[in-house]
Structure formats: structure tokens, C-alpha cells
Amino acid sequence: MDTNIVELVQLLHEARECKNIEEIRIKMGEARSMVEFLDPVSIRQLIISEEGYDSNFIRRLILEDIQQIVESRTKERAVYYINRFVKSITSQQFSKLNDIDLNKWKLYQDILTDSLWIFGKRDSSGDHNADYWGNFIPQIPNQLIRRYTKKGDVVVDGFLGSGTTLIECKKLGRSCIGIELSQKAADIAKEKNSPEDEDKKLFQEVVVGDSQSVDISRILSDHGKKDAKLIILHPPYWDIIKFSSAQNDLSNAADEESFLKMMENVVRNLSSHLERDRYLAVVIGDKYSAGSWIPLGFHTMDRITSLGFRLKSIVVKNFDRTRAKREEKDLWRYRALRGGFYVFKHEYIFIFQKSG
């Protein structure tokens, strides 16, 4: 351990032994000056983390912890906060699910825990671009992957499209099996999966096929994996965008019932490779037809729960037709005012856990 950290921990131990809150506050004043002058390398060592957070951000969080101790009204409360603080800088606590160090939960301010996700601009860094009509913003798979998997785990995306999930998996050190019916879309995804930057321990496989029936067990076993740890599904929102003319394309389902049956088939097929207690995320929006709002999202949700999945969360995400022209937006506003309905501004991310 860095000598500065040893000194800080020593100071915290001394603070814990103080006779009263006033003495604790004096000790914490010393701790504060120490943290204020620690160099960036030592600051980062205070937080044993691979996430690469900025040292100024970490320093601010630590100073906030110290301030909380200073502001405690009783010695008992201050000692409670000191113990928590010592734990956060001397030990780590991980669950089976992800790489989030629960002893440093305050650090992960960019990991969402509320059920309303409002994103501004799409992340267009690295290989991401918005060219594929109907793709989702990279922030969605990014949040899901960090929340529900560890480094090295396998993520399955049953509607890979142009490969957004694949890029995020690669960036975050996860393996990915992406299934896509359209050869054209799969080719775009494969292009982004350039072999020269592949990590040997990780794999990124693009399978051209129908997620209702494709068998991914060979791919898993070829890579020495027993199962997947997360499934992400971003299906067509029934026929809102026609992706191809193939009969088994979900965007060509003859009616809502057929769409829901196809979704059931996909979930049944792919989840047979999902480890028990692991997560399935479905990103889907609703549809408007012949004067009625069709709650495609909730209907899909019902089918998946009836397959035995536990519903963990319904996330509402903002949605904007960024490509739509001003006139098109105005037209929808006019139609809404005339027709007594509201224009779609949200979609859902349903989070399920495989319980059976």
C-alpha cells in the first residue's frame, strides 16, 4: 500500500479512538489537508479501480466523505462513517453479477440506477455511427453490460443490426455473440469487428440467422464457455421499420399476435443458453395504428413474464427522431392535436431475470 494511504488510514484509526466528536473533527481536518495535497497517482490508489476515473473526481468524493464525518452530530455517527470510509479505501466487495466494487459505490455516478433514462447526444466515439436505420444508442448496451456482466463474460444480442452491442462489448472487455437475419446488416457489424484489434481472450461472433431457431451452443463451447451472462434484445417494433422481406423477420409479422409469438420463440431459444438468475433486457417501443395506441412493449413484457422470467424493472427512455425534419415534427404535432393523442417520446427497456 502507498505510504500516503498507510498514513491516512492510521489517521482514521486515531480519529476512531478519539474521546469526543470535537477531537474527531480536528483529526479529520488533518485528513482533509492530507487528501488535498495527495498527488494524482496516490489519489487513484485510494480507489482500487480499473474504471479509470479522473483523480480530481476521486479526490472530490473522498473530501465529501471526510466532510460527512466532520458534520456528524454524534461521536457514534462519526465512527460509523469513519469505518465505512476505511473500508472503502482498504477493501473491495464484488457481487457475482458485475465488476462494481460495492465498497466504492459512490464512484460509479455514471451507472444509472433510476428507471427514467434521459440521454442527450448519442455516443459517437470509436466505431459507432448512426448510419443504420433503427439502431439504438450505444449508451443503452453500455449501461446494461456494465450493470449485468463482468469482464470476460459472454453477452448475446439476438437482433444485432449494425453491431452496436458488439462494439460496446469489445470496448468493455466482454465477448459477444450477435445474431442478425439480414446479411447486409451483419456485414456492417462484421466490418466494425476488425480482427487486428481483437483481444485473444475475448471473442466477437456475428451469426447470420434467425434468432428464433439459431443454435449458439457450438460457438459457446468452441470458446470454452458454458453459457451467456446477459441477453440483449432490440427487435423491430413490429412493422414500424421494415428491415427485409424475409418471412421470419419480425418486422414482417402478419399481426400483433404473430409478432408476440415470434418474440416468445426468440426468448425461449436464446435464454436456454443464459445462466440461471442472469438478466435479459428487451428494448422496445409502442406503435400507433388506426387511431389506437398499441402497447407493444407491455404486451411483449407480459409474454416474457409468462415464460417464467421475473420482471426486475421497467425503464423508460427518452426517444427523439433526431433525423426527422422540422416539417415532419410539426406534422406529427398537428396530427396529435387533431387526433387526441400524444406523440411518442419514449421507449422501454424491460429488465428480466431468468428465474427458472
Q: How far is the CB of 177 from ligand SAM (least distance, A)?
A: 12
Question: How many whole angstroms separate alpha carbon 133 and alpha carbon 323?
Answer: 10
The residue within the footprint of ligand SAM, chosen from 53, 148, 238, 243 (CB under 6 A), is 243
Question: Whose Cβ is closer to ligand SAM: residue 70's or residue 281's?
Answer: 281
Residue 344 sits in the site that holds ligand SAM (CB under 6 A): no
Question: Whose Cβ is closer to ligand SAM: residue 26's or residue 241's?
Answer: 241
153, 182, 102: which is closest to 278 by C-alpha? 153
Residue 210 sits in the site that holds ligand SAM (CB under 6 A): yes
Biggest distance spanned by C-alpha atoms of the chain: 77
Residue 212 sits in the site that holds ligand SAM (CB under 6 A): yes
The residue within the footprint of ligand SAM, chosen from 12, 107, 166, 181 (CB under 6 A), is 181
Q: How many helices (H) and strands (E) does the chain have?
A: 12, 10
Q: How far is the CB of 304 from ligand SAM (least distance, A)?
A: 16
Question: Whose Cβ is closer to ligand SAM: residue 132's or residue 319's?
Answer: 132
Which long-range contacts does 104-108 make (Cβ < 8 Å, 24+ apart)?
104/47, 104/49, 106/61, 106/65, 107/47, 107/49, 107/51, 107/53, 107/58, 107/61, 108/51
Ranges within 182-201 binding ligand SAM (CB under 6 A): 182, 185
Residue 178 sits in the site that holds ligand SAM (CB under 6 A): no
Residue 136 sits in the site that holds ligand SAM (CB under 6 A): yes
CB count in 10 Å sphere of residue 307: 15
Question: Which residues make up the interface to ligand SAM (CB under 6 A)?
Answer: 132, 134-136, 159, 161-162, 164, 179-182, 185, 210-212, 234-236, 243-244, 248-251
